[in-house]
Each structure stands twice: as C-alpha cells, then as structure tokens.
Structure 1
Amino acid sequence: RALEHASQASQQSLVRALLRPYENRAWGQSNWLLLRFWLGDGFGYRESRAPCVWQAGRLPGRSLGLFRSRAKNGSHTGLLHLIAPACPSRHFQRLISEMLSKDETFCTSFLNSVLSQLNWSFSEFIHILQDIQNVSQRDEQQVIETKQLKICSMCFELTVSLMRALEMIVTITPGLWLDTSRANSEIILGRICQLAIQVLSRVTIPPGCFQHVMDLCLPDLSNVTHFAIISAAIGILLALMKNELGGGGADGTALVAGTSDISVHKVPRVSKYLLTDTSFHITSLEFALGEIKTPIANTSQEAPRGNFDPKMRAHIDPLTNEVRVPSPFRAIIGVKEIVPDPPIIKFNMADYPSHVTQEELDQVRRLIEILQLRQTLLSEITVLSEESLCPICYAKQNSAMFDPCQHQSCESCIIQHLMNSKLCFYCKLFISKVTRTPDGAVIYESSVPLNMPALPQTTNGSSQTDDSVDEGDGPSSTTT
C-alpha cells in the first residue's frame, strides 16, 4: 500500500525494474515482489504457505493448521514461506499489464526468460527426484544427502513461484496471446500451454517419481506437496481458457441456459493447443479432484484414494507401506498369490477448503467437461497421416518450409527454435527464410547474408548459445 502512494515515475521505474529479463541477474527477489502483488488473487493462492498434508479434510477442528517450513534457527527457508498476509495490489497489476502490452519487444524478452527459467527449475527438480527414487530402490541402504534434498526443495519452490508469476501475467494481460496481430502471440501461447501440461503430467499421472518421493516422507522435502504445484498449473490453464469457458460467442461454443449441455461447432484456439499436445491427458485434471476415470482403475468402481503402482509394488501394502509377502510376482508353494491393488489417489483439492473454494472446484469440473467434449470433436475431424505430422512435436501438421534446405515443421516449432538458434535442426544449415506452406507467406527472413558461416562465432575465447535453455540447463549465472 505504501508503494501505491509513491510518485507515478517511481512506480513505473519499479515495475520496469521488476520486469527486466530473468537472465544474468539475481531475479529471485524480483519474482518475490511480483508474487506479493498477486497473492490473494490466484487460483487456490490465498496463503503463501502450502496447507498441511494432514489437514483432516473438511474437519477444521482436527486440522493441524498451515504447514510452516523453518530451519533450525527458526528462519524461513524458501521464497514461498512468507509471513505477511495476502494483500493483492490491483494497482500494480494494472501497471504491469500496461507495460507488457505497450512494449512488445520488452514483453517478449521478459516472458522468454521466465519460461526458460521455469523450464530449467522444473527439469532440475524432476532430475533430482529421479535420483532420489533410484537411490531409495536399491537393495543396499544408502543415505540421501541432506544437501541434495535442500536443492530439490529449492528447485520446487522456484518452480511454483515462477508458475504463480506466469499465472498473474496470463490473467492480467490476456492480449499477449489473444491478440493474433502480435508477432509472438502464437509462440507465447504454445510455450505456456506446453509447460503447464508438462508439469501436470509429471506430478499427477501414476506411477511417477513425484509420488514415490512423497511417500518416503523425507523431512527436508516436507514443503514439496501436490497442492502447491497442481493449483499453480491449473490456475494457468484456467486463465488461458477463461474466454472459452463462457457462454458461447466468438469461440464457437454455445451453451444451453440452465443445463450443462454444450453444442460445439469448432474447437477454439486455446483448447486446440491443449488437446493437440502429446503430453496432455484429461486424467491430469481429474487427478486434482481425486476422481480419475481411466483404465488404471476398475470401470465399475471409483478409483480408491492413493497413488500406487500395483504391478511394480504389489508386495507393498498401499496403506501401511509394509512388505506383505517375500515374493510379489509369482505364486509360492503354500503362499497365496497376491492380487495387485488398483492405483490409489491420495490427493483431492476438496480436502483443503481453507485454500480452495467451491466455485474454484466447479471451474475445474467445467474445464474437464468442456475439454472432454472438444477432444471428441477434435478426434473426429482431425485425421493426419504420419508423413504430414511435424517431426518435432508429432502433434501438428507441417505448415512451414525452410530455405534453402527445404525441410519442414509446424509453424510453432520453428518459431520457437529460431528464438534460440538460426540453424536448421536437421542439417545445421543457416536458415535464411521460412515460408508458410499453405499460402507462401514469409513468416521469417534473416538479415544475415547467406555466405556467413553456419556455426556461431566464438568471441574472447568463449562461446555460449541459448540451446541449453531448451534442454533445461538454464543460464549458468542464475542466482536466487
């Protein structure tokens, strides 16, 4: 509130400083300030600390309260564990939206850095989880290093904080991807959808390293929860789908008043991006509501609560986590063979009424319902041959051709590739021009002469490309 009473010039300078690209600088505190402007307005984001895992569901009298991660000296250990209550600033949200809308180059640079850092932090988080899972599954007992657990915890908090910042930007500045006249609207929409889907698929669909490590109940990972990361990802998806969840209009969806029936005439733009992504699964959204309806459970029964791989861990009791028989995979003389239990869903957003409202739960159900119907329509009208599919994403049709090598891909993939490299990913030739195959329109043309070397030049004995960002390595100078 004190910042809102500062001079307009000071406020503009502050916002521009906060929105500088998250590269080659300590961006952790800048992102923390952006979260302060947003805390209280995000999906399930009324409290900076994650709810306690043992919150006793809908019985507030038995709740253990909010989980607080503290070090031995009592100080907070992460960016998400704030003491101040939620106090969102609509004023600064408006200033951020105006600045991103007016300066397209500045906006693209900032968003690209946020998405790159998010890709890096989540990739590091999953990589460490896989290492922890591998160590825990070995026959010989090995101690997991505390340092590794703390790094894993920090990567998780960075991931969630960046996702919340992205949720705010998508919510307050929808023109960044709705306005098709903007040069980078397609690539921004594609990358945001891709990251949100990847996060959901990694932490929801069983079996996976996320749930396995959660079941280990490691004290240094007590702040790593389903709620924090799933609610942030769903918040991004709901912000993207806001205009397509309404009552018809330009998106081609007509709703019958007073009913849940939906008459779909075409698949809107954002829905198509989500449904054509090879990593997207409706079960990821159903998991958030604790009601997966897929072949992983008996079709005649509701999926039991808990996330469990019955084939690989049939000898482990899903409730007590104890070994039941010495041989889980074959019958032994005198020992009855165990019938594997179905997978169990341990998470349900409805178990956290202090953090998620009934209206927000209804929005998720609405999102699932609409995407299911549009997925059916898309499967009926979209039948692409294997030769016409983009060889990079295997989800969209080839729609762009490169000069001079004549290789092809979909328009979204090549635009994203050109943001980091100007070389063809097939033959490594320098790309001089990219044309849209249906109409021959030029969507990219390089100003660099064709006779220049194909490989990037090395200056002052060092060479650095941005390819590492796509691989999830992140800038080496990243500090938090």
Structure 2
Amino acid sequence: MLLLYHLGLASNFKQASSFMSRQSQLISLLDETDKQIRDRVHGDQVKRLKEARGVYREEIMDCVRHCAWYRVSLFSRWKQRGIYAACMWIVQLLLVLSKVDSIFIYVPEYYLETVVDCFHVLRKSDPPFVPAAMFINQGLASFVTFVVTHFNDPRISSAELRDLLLQSISVLVQYKEFLAAFECNEAATQRMPKALLATFDNRSWIPVTNILLRLCKGSGFGFPKRGESSSSSVIFQKLLREACITDEELFSAFLNRLFNTLSWTMTEFSVSIREMQETYKVMDFQQRKCSVIFDLSCNLARVLEFCTREMSQAFLLGTDTNLRRLTELIVFILNHLISAADPELFDLTLRRPGQFTEKVNRGMILAPLAGIVLNLLDASRERDCGQQNDIVAIFASMDCADTILCGFQYLLEYDWAGSFRGDDHLGKLTQLEKFSSLLICQAELQEVEKRICQGESDADDGICCICYACEANAEFVPCSHVSCYGCISRHLLNCQRCFFCNATVVGVVRKDANAP
C-alpha cells in the first residue's frame, strides 16, 4: 500500500501543494502591488507595477483552476481518512523500528518519504480533515519525535532523506502552534539544540539557519517590540545557550562555520551586484539570485547577533581570535554595502515587483551588525573583568582605520526610523555614537604610537608576513615556519597544513613571554 501511494499519489500531492502555496503567494504579491500602484506618482514605476500586476493575475487564475481540480480529485473525505491512518501507523512503526539498529537500517526509504508526504498533505489540506487541536495533540507529537530524533541519524544513509526531515522541522517551526508542540516535546528539547549546531555544515546550513532564526526571532536590534518577537521561542533560546556553554568545542566549530558561510554569502552577493552594475541591467534571474543570497546573509547575521547576545564570553574572554574574526567580518560587510557605485540600483536588485521598501532594504543586514556591536558593548560594561578583550582596541588595531570609521558613520546616518517603524531599540544608537568617538581617539593614539616606533619597526624583521601588523611570535611544528599566533590560530581552524610549505602541522610553539 505504501509503495503504491509513493508511486501513484505522492507526486500529485506535491503538485497540489505547490499550486496552493503559489496561489497564496501570488495573492499576497497582487495585494502589495495594488497598494504600491495607488501610492506611486512616477509614470515609469507605475507602468512596471501594472505589468507585474497583469502577470500575477494570469498566474493566479491558472493556480485557481489547478487547485479546484486537486480539491475535488485528491482531497475527498475518504482519501484524507486513509492518509491520516497511514501517517499515524507509519510514524509509530518507525519509532518502534528505530530502537533496533539491525532492523532500522533496512527500512525502505519510501517509508520515510511517505510519512513526511502524508503529514504535510494533512497539514495543508483544504478544507482541513482533522481539527487543528486534534491534529496537534494527537498527530503532531509522534511526528515531531521522529523528525527531531532522526534528521541527523547516521543510520539513514540517504542524505536527501535527512534533508527532508530537517526541512520538515524548518517548515513546522514557522507556525506558532507547531512551535509550541516542539517546546512540549521531550525529544525536541533534549536533542534538537545540539543536533542543530552539529548539523550546520556545507550541505544543511540553509535549513538549520532558518530554524535557528525562527527560534531566536524578535530578540535582535531592529525588531519591533510587538509582533514577531511574540512568536519566538524563549525555551529554545535558553536551551541553545546552555548547549553552547556546556559544549565549547561544538560551539567553536559552529561559530567557525558560521563565520565562513556568512563571509561566502556576502562575497557572492557583492559579485552579483557588481555584475549588474557594470551593465546597469537587472535581469530577472540575477535579481532572484541577489535577493536569495541577501536574505541568507541577513539570516546568518541574525544568528551571529544572537550568539553575541547569549554567548558574549566566547568573544570577550580568552583568546581574541573570535572577536578579531567578528570585527573583520563586520568591516568586510560594511565595506561591501557602502562601496556600491549606484545605491539606487543596489536597492533595486533587492526588491522584486510588488515588495515594499520597508520590507527589503539595506537595514535588514545593517541592523544585526549594529546589534552585534551593541551586544558586545553591553556585555563589556556588565562584566567587571580586567582580562576581557577590548572591542574598541580590536577595531582600532585593524589596518583600515578610514574604512572602519566610514562604516560606522554609515551605520549612524542610516534612516533607521524609515526602515524599522516603532522600534524601541533606536535609542541605543547613542551607544554607537560614543563607541565611534572612542574608536576615533583610539585609532589616532595608535597612529601616533606607530610613528614613534617607526624607526624600530623598520629595523625589525620579526613582523608577521601574513598580516604585517603583529610580531611573528609563534612557529609551526615540525617545519618551524613562523608567523603571529593570531594568524596561525585562525588558519588552523580550517586547515591543518603550514601556509608556507604545506607540511602537516602537529603543533604550535609560542615564542613570546606571554605564552601560556
């Protein structure tokens, strides 16, 4: 029976789901486009919006015809009863089989695909077959237990199947009532926080980012006091914080991948923007690509903002590697944003027809950057510890003072009130102003000290040849090549070979007096 469903009905249900989702999306876009047409006064913009409205109307009519057919042919009452029974039976069967390794590894893949398909068909059925309360209380609990237990289960050999389970979590946590079911599920609260951090890799980072963003949404700079913040999960925020504190190695690996991924997405976004600016043409495919990459970058930045708020000790205490990487990333992103040759074209590439300016703008990426700095400033002020890393000194020590000051000036001059209406966090911008003033003073002081010591520096050949800013106070073992400890530490996060001779590194020896 399951095989027949998988071969015969699953594809039809997926098509029905696709048309229903597309119909809802198009109706929303059409409403927004009509509102923009009423508000616009420029002829060219109105003409373009009317063309988009015509396209949306044609697509909506096509979706309505398909959805009507699928409701009649697929979503009949007796078929929904059969799907519900099959879903509940398969979930319970898989939960029992998963307790025996020798049996679970031989479970056919279409069992897992079928249970996910059945569940989402019931969730999106129109009209609903099972009342929402009954579906959540009886049907959702066992499904949640299964997906959170097995989305990173190595016994499931198919990476596509694990992705399917992870994407199911990503979809469900977007809804407040389903998120509450995760919070009440023992398996979810015990396993999901650490499993999500461990699963953040080159393959699964997008759904993991979406899940983390949803769990932490509403707690960062620029979010309104009401609305989105009420639908975040305080329970999972606390669990994530505990997971990061109790397993420092796991959090360190996650943070390293987060830095690398955000740097990559911003680089891809910048390259795509410049390609369009060179020709001054905004192609539909390129615009979609830029919009998607920009959204991903904003989501990653929000996750990083959450880390600085909840785990500030990872940046302020111990070695300054994380703080230096963070400051370099902030400057890197700000430099890409403010160096755009044509700001109007830059903003145009972020918005699809029918989208409002306040929904898609540079503030989406600038807000988490401001939040990161403010979080670290607040944590520095609260911690009465003389051994903590100085965020002002770290920024000032970077060999691009003008770029840093220009970036923070851009943050201060940005139209925050126009991008985030009713935001109570805007009063914190005075802290950024004070921070910028301190940064200017610190940079000037370091410049004076550098000039005083210029004679000694010119005669000293012990400077790190990677950053040309610090003393070469550490060497690789066994090849004995030298560099500064900061550059070596960051290099070894991603590669265990010497960056001079490519020899395998087995250790690092510090030569300075402050070595532990």
TM-score by length of 1: 0.60
Deviation at 1:424, TM superposition (A): 2.0
Match of 2:410 in 1: 287
**1:245, 1:366 within 8 Å by CA — same for their partners in 2?**
no
Shift of 1:100: 0.7
In the alignment, the residues of structure 2 paired with residue 95 and residue 274 of structure 1 have an alpha-carbon distance, to the nearest angstrom, of: 31
List aligned pairs for 1:7-406, cutoff 5 A. Answer: 7-46=185-224, 86-136=230-280, 143-180=281-318, 185-204=319-338, 207-209=339-341, 211=343, 213-214=345-346, 219-220=351-352, 224-245=360-381, 249-251=384-386, 269-279=390-400, 281-290=404-413, 347-352=414-419, 353-355=421-423, 357-382=425-450, 383=453, 385=457, 387-406=461-480
Deviates more, 1:169-178 or 1:147-156: 169-178
Distance 1:441 1:358 in 2: 42
Deviations 1:456-476, CA, capped at 9 Å, x for gaps: xxxxxxxxxxxxxxxxxxxxx
User: What residue identity is the alignment partner of 1:26?
Assistant: S
- Which amino acid is 1:373 matched to? C
Going from structure 1 to structure 2, the CA distance change for 1:377 and 1:149 (only over 3 Å counts) comes to same
Deviations 1:187-220 (A, max 9, x none): 322222211121112212xx43473632657753
- Work out the CA distance in 2 between the residues paired with 1:158 and 1:28: 8
State the AA in 1 paired with 2:406.
T
In the TM superposition, what is the alpha-carbon distance from 1:404 to its structure 2 partner?
4.1
Contiguous gaps of at least 5 residues in structure 1: 49-82, 137-142, 253-266, 291-346, 443-480
Residue aligned with 1:402, SS: strand
Over 3 Å counting, the alpha-carbon distance change for 1:349 and 1:388 in structure 2 is farther
What CA distance in whole angstroms lies between the structure 1 residues aligned with 2:213 and 2:265? Answer: 17
Q: Which amino acid aligns with 1:130?
A: R
Conserved in 2, the CA contact under 8 Å of 1:202 and 1:210?
no
Instruction: Say if 2:474 and 2:511, in contact at 8 Å, map to a contact too.
Output: yes
Contact 2:290 2:350 in 1 (8 A): no
Look up the SS of the partner of 1:434 in the other structure.
strand
Cα drift, residue 164 of structure 1: 0.3
| CA displacement 1:373-400 (0-9 Å, x = unmatched) | 3333333445462644432223333222
**Residue 315 of structure 1 corresponds to which residue in structure 2?**
none
Q: Distance in 1 between matches of 2:468 and 2:242?
A: 36
- Bigger helix share: 2
The one-letter code sitting in structure 2 at the alignment partner of 1:29 is: P
SS in 1 for 2:231: coil
Deviates most, 14-23 or 193-202: 14-23
CA distance in 2, matches of 1:146, 1:269: 45
1:431 pairs with one of 487, 498, 505? 505
Alpha-carbon deviation of 1:95? Answer: 1.0
Task: Write the distance in 2 (CA, Å) between the matches of 1:215 and 1:40.
Answer: 24
**Contact 1:390–1:396 (8 Å) recurs in 2:** yes
Structure 1 pair 369/351, CA: closer, same or farther in 2 (3 Å)? farther
Q: Which runs of 5 or more residues in structure 2 are unaligned?
A: 1-178
CA–CA distance in 1 between the matches of 2:377 and 2:276? Answer: 36
Query: What's the RMSD between the two structures over aligned residues?
Result: 3.1
- Cα distance between partner residues in 2 of 1:421 and 1:406: 17
TM-superposed CA distance for 1:8, in Å, is 4.5
CA deviation digits over 1:419-459, x for unaligned, max 9? Answer: 222222223333343211213958xxxxxxxxxxxxxxxxx
Are the aligned partners of 1:4 and 1:11 in contact in 2 as well (CA < 8 Å)?
yes
The residue type equivalent to 1:197 in the other structure is: V
User: Is the partner of 1:289 in helix, strand or coil?
Assistant: helix
Q: 2:316 touches 2:389 (CA, 8 Å); kept in 1? A: no
Identity %: 26
Give the letter for the 1:391 counterpart: C
Q: Does the 8 Å CA contact 1:238/1:367 hold for their aligned counterparts? A: no
Q: Which residue of structure 2 lines up, in the alignment, with residue 419 of structure 1? A: 493
Q: Is the 8 A contact 2:347 2:361 kept in 1?
A: no
Give the aligned residue type for 1:231.
A
Q: Is the 8 A contact 1:177 1:189 kept in 2?
A: yes
**CA distance, structure 2, for counterparts of residue 85 and residue 238 of structure 1:** 19
